[in-house]
Structure 1
Amino acid sequence: MNLLSGCDRFSCFTRLANLTLVFCLIVSFWACTDDNDISPIPDVYVNIVINPASIEYGNLNIPGNYALIKGGYRGIIVYHVIDNQYMAYERTCTYDWEKPCSKLIIDASGLIARDTCCKSSFLLIDGSPMEGSLATIPLKQYKTMYDPNFGRLYITN
């Protein structure tokens, strides 16, 4: 059976346009799913509001600095990337995350989170595992929104 048989010029064009649209939608949904980036770490409710300029969080209001805060599965790392852009990550390695010793620490540079238990390192700029790490999945990331009017950083999942 031919999908375009027995149709005039306009209806053939409409059918072809609809088929193209359906095909594009299917491809776009398929392209958005990447099982390799799904974090194995259990979801824990996170809804935190902090003031990055507060002394409690050190110099988090200065780009390149970080703060370790309570929340998430084993704690949260908040990293100030640039201007009003912040990243928040689960403080648990995505490889061997079930081990009690799995907890990320920040190295002296302030750019890399390391876990000696799971033998992995991650860049804090984007959470990606570094070369040579056993982890292949990026750090579990939380959503952040900075409100410059009130100086508040919202961290949620």
Structure 2
Amino acid sequence: MRKAVFVVITAIIFFSCGKAENAVPSVPVNFRASKTDPRLAALNSPGGSVAISGYGVAGILIYRRADGIYVAYDRCSSYQPEKLCAVSPDESGFTATDPCSGAKFSLSDGSPVKAPATRSLRVYSVNVSNFEIFVSN
């Protein structure tokens, strides 16, 4: 009996100790811009989104939800992130699409809304002052 318990526990430990695959790498992000920056003009109204290159893994995507809250995601798709496919906002204003796989993600919370993606986009913190937007992790 003790041997069987030992084998089961060993098997659980062996199979649960794996490398986390398909995770968007964590890289330092520190984006700051004035709310009047022309690159951010689309954020002046709810439902607006902007893609900013040069930050995160594949750029960052900032979205202003209908309730006025700003959210930010890494543009690197969570489906096969090693391919570095950058999601782009759709014309609908509610989702972003991975051009490599066709996966779609909600801009409201970054969650996957169309297969093959099963993980949410990497989320970054957004702080807004009267005159500036800060995105960081």
TM range (shorter): 0.7 to 0.9
- CA displacement, residues 7-35 of structure 1 (integer Å, 9 cap, x when unaligned): xxxxxxxxxxxxxxxxxxxxxxxxxxxxx
- 1:40 and 1:94 in contact (8 A); partners too: yes
Identity across matched positions, percent: 33
Q: In the superposition, relative to structure 1, how do residues 147 and 82 fare at CA in structure 2: closer, same or farther (>3 Å)?
A: farther
For 1:57, the equivalent position in structure 2 comes to 40
Q: In the superposition, relative to structure 1, how do residues 142 and 66 fare at CA in structure 2: closer, same or farther (>3 Å)?
A: same
Q: In the superposition, relative to structure 1, how do residues 107 and 84 fare at CA in structure 2: closer, same or farther (>3 Å)?
A: closer
Aligned length: 116
Q: TM-score, normalised by structure 2?
A: 0.77
Structure showing greater radius of gyration is: 1
- 1:52 and 1:59 in contact (8 A); partners too: no
Q: TM-score, normalised by structure 1?
A: 0.68
The question of 1:79 aligning with 2:59 is answered no
Q: Point out where structure 2 has 5 or more consecutive residues left out of the alignment.
A: 1-20
For 1:133, the equivalent position in structure 2 comes to 115
* Whole-angstrom CA distance in 1 between matches of 2:68 and 2:33: 14
Q: Point out where structure 1 has 5 or more consecutive residues left out of the alignment.
A: 1-37
Q: In the superposition, relative to structure 1, how do residues 129 and 41 fare at CA in structure 2: closer, same or farther (>3 Å)?
A: same
Give the 3-state SS of the residue equivalent to 1:68 in structure 2: strand
